Amino acid sequence: MISEPRNIALHNYPLEEHTVQTSDGYLLSTYRIPALTAKRNGVVLLQHGFTLSSDVWLLRGPKEDLPYLLADAGYDVWLGNHRGNEYGLKHSNLDPIANRKHFWNFTWHEMGYYDLPNIIDYILEETGEKSLHYVGYSQGGLVALVLLMTRPEYAEKFKSLQFTAPTVYMRNLNVPVPASWIGKLRNYLSHFLDWWGYGETLQFARWNLHKRMCKAMCADGAWLRPFFKKIFSMIGGPVAANEDYEHILTEICGSVPVGASSKQLLHYMQLYATGGFTQFDYGSADRNLRQYGQVLAPSYNVSSIKNCISIYYSETDKMCGPEDVRQLGRDLQCAELHRLPYAAWNHGDFVWSRHARHALHEPIIAKIDAWRDGMEIRFAH
């Protein structure tokens, strides 16, 4: 399978690779497709989801994938990566193996507090722009909310914000195991990590064995292909009858998961178990007191965000419950919710469905176009 940088170049699109160093030392590869027209319409940053990388935006190719469509429309496109995935495994001082406990001591909170603002500052300095458009998929929406709540001075650096399937509230997450099991697993994992320390997890898509298995199970005509799609639908949501993921199912399989921190995974499990939206809970009043100055992990105040946010969601997405999205819309000061009118639209369809261009990408670009030349659009709560 071809990695993202070669993929862009092989399609004859210009490509630049940039390294962003965060203020706490992580080195993040960030990719740029410069605008293809003489008139630049602005900058757009795309941010991936949990256990993914910027590769997830590029599986179908030109005329279908959002980065190429944006570049064709005259936008300066940047593809961000977070610490812990295959493009974020370097640090100025720490080694991910030799310094495991320190390197992997992060959750998506640090991605919102350090990674995203440092990426944004780098892009704006590089382009000479004062603000940019933002599209966040899944966890990509979550980290933008963390940034806006913890560093509100960044609000003015966004022209527009659009989230697809944002995994924020997780009270109605539809997982194929009983909720009580998740609670027990969270407790076991918490005790284990207290003893073992934080480390890397969910990185097997980077293994050669996994890639070979993907080719055997997911190639067009493979007899195990229906079985893989069934497993896929149990996790992310139903696969539409006319959605065969022709020619790209092997790439889908090989694109996830590409790495995360065990602490990051545990943080998600805490959200699901409690139904709240809080910072990482260290498991005891004393430890929380040392970390936060209070006995309970602080709650995020979503209602403090003043930016208007467009949110796209599906009724059949098992990883991003529709009721949770509607609750997020009610809690935000300014939100516009777009429900995709499909009987079967799963969590992955937001980036790789054959219908994504018409159903999602074109509306996203139209919304960005509406902000051209500084035209601000606000919508009702």
What's the rounded Cα separation, in Å, for the pair 197 and 263? 9
Q: What global pTM score does this model have?
A: 0.95
For domain 4-374, give the CATH number. Answer: 3.40.50.1820
pLDDT digits (tens, 9 = 90+) for 180-199: 777 788 888 988 998 899 99
What was the pLDDT predicted at 188? 87
Handedness of CA 111, 144, 323, 301 (dihedral sign): positive
Tell me the DSSP string of 98-133.
Answer: TTHHHHT---HHHIIIIIHHHHHHHHHHHHT-S-EE
Is 138 designated active site? Answer: yes
Is the pLDDT assigned to residue 378 strictly greater than 80?
Answer: no
Q: What are phi and psi of 214, to 5 degrees?
A: -60, -40
**pLDDT average, residue stretch 361-375:** 86
Catalytic residue among 160, 347, 353, 361: 347
What was the pLDDT predicted at 173? 86
For residue 53 the two structure tokens come to: 């990388």
Is the pLDDT assigned to residue 370 strictly greater than 60?
Answer: yes
Among the residue ranges 23-32, 169-178, 220-229, the one predicted with the least confidence is 169-178
Is 347 designated active site? Answer: yes
Is the pLDDT assigned to residue 176 strictly greater than 90?
Answer: no
What's the rounded Cα separation, in Å, for the pair 303 and 171? 18
Catalytic residue among 131, 138, 255, 314: 138
Say if CB 316 and CB 309 are below 8 A apart.
no
Q: Return the beta strands (E) in 132-274 as ranges.
A: 132-137, 158-164, 200-201, 260-261
Q: Categorize the per-residue pLDDT at 38 as very low, low, confident or very high, splitting at 50, 70 and 90.
A: low
What was the pLDDT predicted at 200? 97
